[in-house]
């Protein structure tokens, strides 16, 4: 009888240790995955402004740099977002399993091509795909030619965006960085071409 009672707390402690911060973050992201709407952003007293289209922006003087967002792409190449400073960077969090991601993908592929000459670079962050096969097929099916970092456990999503900033809270999410590598705009829903351009164009115009 004594040994039976001793097993219960030990098992409970073991389960508690197994719950890592990354697991908690991925679980939270899962709850809002492929939702139609979004949460407002990042913290208490902020200078974030959300327009009627669900796009949240930050005044230039109030922007914060991202943390390190670097790793291996779906194609097996190394990519570090820090190397893209000087360009407007569109970060899109997506998964091949996500219907809204599939809906927005053709718009992203089109706008990425059309804005490249204006100094805009697109980078995907592919998450919750346990292997690369479906994600690579997704890129081929929708003509996505820009690279995507492979982030199956959500580690980059958790660590790449400082607390209190506009960070990804849903799948899909889109974060746009200005030319200084600072977070300037965010959407927590699937975007069409018009809404995507509304996020990007003001940053292209900044000098």
Q: Give the confidence band of 29 by pLDDT, cuts at 50, 70, 90.
A: low
Q: What is the pLDDT of residue 207?
A: 82
Alpha carbons 121 and 127: distance in angstroms, whole number: 19
Instruction: Provide the edge-to-edge strand list for the sheet that holds 120-127.
Output: 48-50, 55-58, 183-187, 173-177, 88-94, 120-127, 148-151
Q: What is the rounded average pLDDT of the residues 34-62?
A: 65
Residues 6+ apart with CB under 8 A from 200: 88, 90, 111, 115, 120, 176
Alpha carbons 131 and 152: distance in angstroms, whole number: 8
Q: What is the rounded average pLDDT of the residues 94-115?
A: 98
Q: Give the confidence band of 50 by pLDDT, cuts at 50, 70, 90.
A: confident
Torsion of CA 151, 184, 35, 109, to 10 degrees: -70
pLDDT over 70 (residue 142): yes
Against a cut of 0.85, is the pTM above it? no
């Amino acid at each position: 009888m004594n040994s039976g009672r001793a097993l219960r707390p030990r098992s409970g402690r073991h389960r508690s240790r197994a719950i890592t911060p990354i697991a908690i973050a991925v679980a939270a992201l899962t709850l809002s995955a492929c939702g139609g709407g979004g949460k407002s952003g990042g913290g208490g007293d902020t200078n974030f402004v959300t327009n009627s289209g669900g796009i949240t922006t930050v005044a230039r003087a109030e922007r914060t740099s991202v943390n390190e967002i670097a790793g291996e792409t779906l194609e097996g190449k190394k990519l570090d977002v820090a190397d893209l400073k000087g360009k407007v960077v569109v970060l899109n969090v997506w998964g091949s399993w996500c219907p809204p991601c599939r809906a927005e993908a053709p718009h992203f592929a089109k706008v990425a091509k059309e804005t490249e000459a204006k100094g805009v670079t697109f980078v995907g962050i592919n998450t919750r795909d346990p292997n690369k096969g479906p994600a690579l097929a997704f890129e081929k099916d929708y003509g996505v030619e820009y690279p995507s970092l492979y982030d199956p456990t959500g580690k980059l999503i958790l660590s790449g965006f400082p607390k209190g900033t506009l960070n990804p809270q849903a799948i899909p999410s889109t974060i746009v960085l200005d030319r200084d590598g600072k977070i300037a705009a965010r959407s927590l829903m699937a975007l069409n071409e018009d809404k995507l351009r509304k996020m990007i164009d003001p940053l292209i115009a900044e000098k």
